Amino acid sequence: MITVAILINGHPIVAKNAVRQRDLPDENGNVKYKTDSGEIVLHKPSDGANVLAKKLLDMIRNDD
């Protein structure tokens, strides 16, 4: 599981979570993560956690 959060003065204003769904990579080296909103993210573990965190942050939308 991975959690990415944005905090201001120690108070979270937004957070995004994802849980790995399959243990074995697909033919492209990707594994599947399911986010707290039900969306699926494909990620190559060899790319590192920072890349996955960026993908999660890119999924955050403002509801203004």
Q: What is the model's pLDDT at position 13? A: 92
Residue-wise pLDDT tens digits, 2-35:
999 999 999 999 999 999 997 789 899 999 999 9
Q: Measure the CA dihedral 54/55/57/61, to 10°.
A: 150
Locate the domains of the chain by residue range: 2-58
Residue at token pair 């955050």? 60
Confidence of residue 61 (pLDDT cuts 50, 70, 90): confident
Q: What is the model's pLDDT at position 20? A: 95
43: pLDDT strictly greater than 80: yes
- What are the angstrom distances between the C-alpha of 24 and each of 29, 49, 55? 9, 17, 20
Of 57, 59, 40, 41, residue with least CA distance to 6:
57
